[in-house]
Structure 1
């Protein structure tokens, strides 16, 4: 299975690519500029101290989307739609994971404030845009911080809350998420439940800032 990280040169994308590469997955890092993708691959190799690692490939975003079996979008809200437009035709028949969180930083505001969207959530906006395509849209990785992902060799102390309307696609993403040490994937039901999940990120950022830490996560107990 090949995993393509669209916007994989940003903090979140780089962290996911790092963890999936460590897990032995075949990972494609996508970027608008292939040179930036190449630099991200070099950075991960340097972090791992393994220059010979061969399961990371740099590509442009459209090429990465075409190559991947699972495509993960990890861009800020202001880049969500323009990036989707650039890869839309490459997503037919695939599982598409949107990790976008609508934070006020997209408007020059605070990272601790959530921006309400007309569609209900960022992932529902993606699903509406991709509606005419045969794409299985899933929400995941919204609440796992980039700092936790790059904090190797430590486990990630955060559950992955997953929402989606396609049961098989969710199952695939749950299995993928649990390849990250320390992560337990939680099926949160229908895609519309991402409206709640996405908001949690703003709270976690607020907790990080208030407590002068970087690794705050969320755990669901009793399951």
Structure 2
């Protein structure tokens, strides 16, 4: 299985790419410009020379075409044009969206949320991809970039996901749970992304308040997502 990180040269996307590649996943890092993706991948392989990384760099469109599972890691302002640019390559694929509607998109604070007409960023992606058969899942919204970058330390956080297709969520969880320390929690239908995404500015605010970079979330008292 090939996992393509769309917009994968930023801190979040590259952090996810590194974590998955270290665990043996074949990863493609996508960017608006292929040259940037290639440079980032070359630097990453040099940085993590102790690991045998199966990682390549491509333009976002080529990455989306080649990947079996796509992970969207772009800022809110880039979300719509990015999704529209890869739409033809999303047919029947699992598309995990990590976009969070933060007020930084309009020059505001990262600890504040923007309400979208569609209800959530993940639902907006689903509306753009309507008719393609893509299975959209809200994922990776609550895992901080600092946690992702803190290799090789385990990430002691839960990854909350939401989506309308149960089989796709199981596959997504199998990928996410390869990252040591993370436990995936299925929160239900895609509409629950409206709640999941709103947790992110809360966590950002807590990290600011307590001068930390590693604030996360654990859900207790329930079993892990059943992957059988």
Q: Which TM-score band (shorter chain)? A: over 0.9
Match of 1:126 in 2: 125
Secondary structure of the residue aligned to 1:144 is: coil
Match of 2:45 in 1: 45
Superposition pairs of residues 91-130 of structure 1, within 5 angstroms: 91-130=90-129
Aligned Cα root-mean-square deviation (Å):
1.0
What are the ranges of 5 or more consecutive residues in structure 2 without an aligned counterpart? 223-228
Match of 1:175 in 2: 174
What are the ranges of 5 or more consecutive residues in structure 1 without an aligned counterpart? none
Match of 1:7 in 2: 7
129-138 vs 5-14, greater mean Cα deviation:
129-138
Normalising by structure 2, report the TM-score: 0.95
66-75 vs 35-44, greater mean Cα deviation:
35-44
Tell whether the 8 Å contact from 2:22 to 2:52 is kept in structure 1 after alignment: no
Match of 1:206 in 2: 205
Q: How many residues align?
A: 222
1:48 Cα offset (Å): 1.4
Match of 1:82 in 2: 81
Q: C-alpha separation between the residues in 1 aligned to 2:113 and 2:38?
A: 32
Secondary structure of the residue aligned to 1:112 is: coil
Q: Where has structure 1 moved over 3 Å in runs of 4 or more?
A: none
Tell whether the 8 Å contact from 2:6 to 2:71 is kept in structure 1 after alignment: yes
